[in-house]
Amino acid sequence: MTRRLLFSALLCAGGITAAALLLRPAVREAPAAIAAPRLAVALGRIEPASDAITLAGPQGSRSGRIAQLLVEQGQSVTQGQLLAVMDNAAAMAGQLEQARAAARQREARLAQRLVELEAEEASLVVALSQERSSRDRARWEYDRTQRLERGGVLREAALIDRRLALEVAEQKVHSAELALARVRRRDAAGLRLEEAVLLAERDMAAAALAQMEHEAALAMLRAPIAGRILRINTRPGEVPGQDGVLLLGDTSRMRVRAELFETDLHMVAPGQRVRITSRALPDALAGEVTWIGLRVARQSILREDPAATLDARVVEVMIQLDAAGSARAAGLSGMQVRAHFGAAP
């Protein structure tokens, strides 16, 4: 009896458990969280797309102090515009005029001598023709006297005189031929020897003039490109140092030079859109990757965090800002920013 009751109780408990399992609502498993795409962030600096140009003054014996500074920081300039004048500009201008006068003198001397050589050659041709005529006349006189001397009409002394006159005439012809040959002599280039010397002297004067023009131009500092004066390093009365006179850049198109960690290189590709942020910028700037460096080097742009890695290996990435971003960043050259890269396209 007791066993039957125990067995019945077990059957009831099992039935209740099975019913509870059947009546329990199904519990859905929570879906796995979708991992957010990883972003690469790199430190960079804003700079003109044309690169900032350091304009230096003349070096060596032609160096001098700044006499006049004709621009201000932040001013826009055009290509070829005069920016500064060195204090040796007047001395350079005087030496330049001397070089020009020397070059003109050599040119005039060459032209004059060429005319003289042409006239001299023509004169020698005429003289040679006259000497040959005189020689022919002397030979005829000698031959005639020789016949008369044989016929007993003239004495031997007359024949001797005619022979000496013929020898003198022949020597004059030889001298005239040598003089004409000297004037007509040419070098391998087909130039008269004296003409070649004069041409070489003229070319030397022209080269000295070109050198002087170059050195005089250094005393007048001009803008090699159109752009904006980013920084003035030397003031009137000072001698330009290693930093040059001023820093010039074309700020109409701005870019960011970023240093990407080598481990994030696979996440970046040319043409990829990039977001540029900074604490000093109220809104982010937009740009795209235009160039990725081919060399891994040490990081040069460091975060403000004192615990930042000082020996990180990075690759340089160039980011061209769009028109709106370039306009906003035109006056922010050198600002440190962060470049946010998404997944590579």
100 and 201 fall within a common domain: yes
C-alpha triplet 267, 268, 272: angle, nearest 5°:
125
Does 179 score more than 90 pLDDT? Answer: no
Q: State whether 164 and 104 are in the same domain.
A: yes
Are 80 and 166 in the same domain?
Answer: no
Last residue of a domain, one of 196, 230, 247: 247
CB atoms within 10 A of CB 145: 22
Task: Specify the pairing of strand 285-298 against strand 313-321.
Answer: antiparallel
Same domain, 258 and 226: no
Structural contact between residues 337 and 274, judged by C-beta atoms closer than 8 angstroms: no
Q: Are 262 and 212 found together in one domain?
A: no
8 A C-beta contact, residue 289 and residue 317: yes
**Does residue 7 have a pLDDT over 50?**
no
Asked whether residue 119 falls in the same domain as residue 190, the answer is yes
Q: Are residues 195 and 290 in the same domain?
A: no
Assess whether 165 and 104 both reside in one domain: yes
Q: Residue 112 in contact with residue 246, Cβ under 8 Å?
A: no
Average pLDDT in the 324-337 region? 90
Q: What is the pLDDT of residue 171?
A: 93
pLDDT tens profile 94-140: 999 999 999 999 999 999 988 988 888 898 898 889 989 999 998 99
| Residue 207 clears pLDDT 50, i.e. is over it | yes
pLDDT attached to residue 37: 58
Using pLDDT thresholds of 50, 70 and 90, give the confidence band for residue 1.
very low
What proportion of the chain, given as a percentage, has pLDDT over 70? 83
Question: Residue 19 falls within a domain, yes or no?
Answer: no
Query: Would 1 be classed as within a structural domain?
Result: no
Same domain? For 134 and 197 the reply is yes
Domains contained in the chain, number? 3
Chain mean position to CA 171? 65
**The pLDDT of residue 58 is above 90:** no
Where residue 18 falls among pLDDT bands split at 50, 70, 90?
very low
For residue 61, the domain's CATH number is 2.40.50.100
Residue 312 is assigned to a structural domain of this protein: yes
The 10s digit of each residue's pLDDT in 157-175 is 777 888 898 899 899 999 9
Q: At which of 247, 265, 292 does a domain end? A: 247
Same domain, 134 and 170: yes
Specify if 23 maps to a domain: no
pTM higher than 0.75? no
**Is 31 among the domain residues?**
no
Residue 227 maps to a domain: yes
13 in a structural domain: no
Average pLDDT over residues 38-45: 87
Domain, as residue range, for 71: 53-88+220-247
Query: pLDDT tens-digit profile of 283-329?
Result: 999 999 999 998 888 887 766 555 555 567 899 999 999 999 999 99
Whether the predicted pLDDT of 256 surpasses 90: yes
Query: What is the structure's pLDDT at 62?
Result: 66
φ, ψ for residue 250 (rounded to 5)?
-85, 105
What's the CATH number where 314 sits?
A: 2.40.30.170
Establish if 3 belongs to a structural domain. no
Contact of 46 with 254, CB cutoff 8 Å: yes
- In terms of domains, do 129 and 195 share one? yes
Q: Is the pLDDT of residue 13 over 80?
A: no
The position carrying tokens 């016949």 is 147
Residues 269 and 195 in one domain: no
